[in-house]
Amino acid sequence: MSDYRREEMMAVAAARLLPDGCVCFVGIGLPGTACNLARLTHAPRLVLIYESGTIGARPSVLPLSIGDGELAETAACVVPLPDIFSDYLQAGRVDVGFLGAAQIDRFGNLNTTVIGPYDKPRVRLPGAGGAPEIAAHARRLFVVMAATPRSFVPALDFCTSAGAEQGGGLQAVITDFGILRPRGGDGELVLAALYPEATAAEARAAVGWPLALAETLEQVPPPTELELRTLRELEARTAAAHSQPVVLALPALESQ
């Protein structure tokens, strides 16, 4: 049995996809964990851009949101939000975009808008944010999400962001069993790599369409001691920092 969790394997596998020195548009959650793990291990010159306008952020703990002060305090610079999209993303200066989603279909299209009919949804989700622009304009797109038949679906309830079929930049979908990649020709996602102890049968059971296998099925190496230690230390620092009470400095009230 392995001495690491599947969630840790996901973060490690995603981090390994990032080369040193690339510019990465990153969000909160597992994509942010993966990018900061890469920065703390094999990619120290990784440039992280967050939607709030921070460029070159080097947080010591994982931020709670894109507006977390940790990002602005550690960034090389902070620019207005519209400039992030017009001058960096849409100008072609972002090498990699990292996204998550509530649903993904067999062609890598993403849904972060609603579950159920749009007019009367069962669940209304946070919405698009900058995801459509990231999917369309980043040179390469990675998606990170745990796989279940409810999230990996034959057809989306709503298409928020275009994937391999339309956007063209999707390179990999990192799941909790392995990695899916678009197939040449039609762009359908196929199983390209498995984690240690994961099986193709497990992968097929977690996906809501008949999952095909790549011609060559790779095996993802397990996390190294350095990767696991760095990831766990990052998560421990984050948990400790976020458990501290927030103290607001208020002006003293004048006595009546």
Residues tagged active-site: 51
Q: Distance between CA atoms of 96 and 8, rounded to whole angstroms?
A: 21
The closest of 116, 127, 107 to 167, measured between CA atoms, is 107
Query: CA–CA separation, 230 vs 17, rounded Å?
Result: 17
Distance CA 90, CA 83 (A): 10
Contact partners, residue 105, CB within 8 Å, separation at least 6: 152, 153, 154, 155, 156, 163, 209
In this structure, which amino acid lies at residue 187? G
d(CA 134, CA 139): 9
Contact yes or no for 94/115 (Cβ under 8 A): no
48 in Cβ contact with 58 (< 8 Å): yes
Residue 189 · residue 106 · CB < 8 Å: yes
Distances (CA, A) of 58 to 16, 23, 52: 18, 13, 14
Residue type, 199: T
Q: How far apart are CA 50 and CA 129, in angstroms?
A: 12
